[in-house]
Amino acid sequence: MNKIILLMLAVMLTACGKTEPIPTVDELAANPERLKELREQCKTDRPRMGDVLCNRVAEATGRRFFNNGQPTPYTPPKEPPKF
C-alpha cells in the first residue's frame, strides 16, 4: 500500500513540471509577430491556451490598436479637398 502511495506521489510531482511563464501585456504589445501567433492560437484553442494568456493577448491587441493611449498628431493633407 505504501509503495503505491509513493509511486502515485512521484508521478504527480513529475507531472507538475515547470511551465512557461505567461508574457506580460507590454511584452506582447512590443512583439507583433508573437502577438499575431498567440491571437490565432487563442481563436482556435482557447481552453488549451488558458484564459489568463488569451486575456493578455486581447489587452495587448487593444493597446496596439489604440496606440497605447498616445495621442496621434494631426497631419493635414498638403492640398485642401476640392468639392
- What does the domain layout of the chain look like in residue ranges? 21-68
Q: What is the pLDDT of residue 35?
A: 93
Q: Which residues of the chain, if any, have pLDDT below 50?
A: none
Predicted model pTM: 0.62
In this prediction, residue 52 carries a pLDDT of 92
Cα distances (Å, whole numbers) of residue 48 to 20, 41, 44, 57:
14, 9, 9, 14
Confidence at residue 68, expressed as pLDDT on a 0 to 100 scale? 66
The predicted pLDDT at position 44 comes to 93
Calculate ∠ Cα 57-36-18, nearest 5°. Answer: 60
Quick one: cell of 80? 485642401
Residue 15 pLDDT: 62
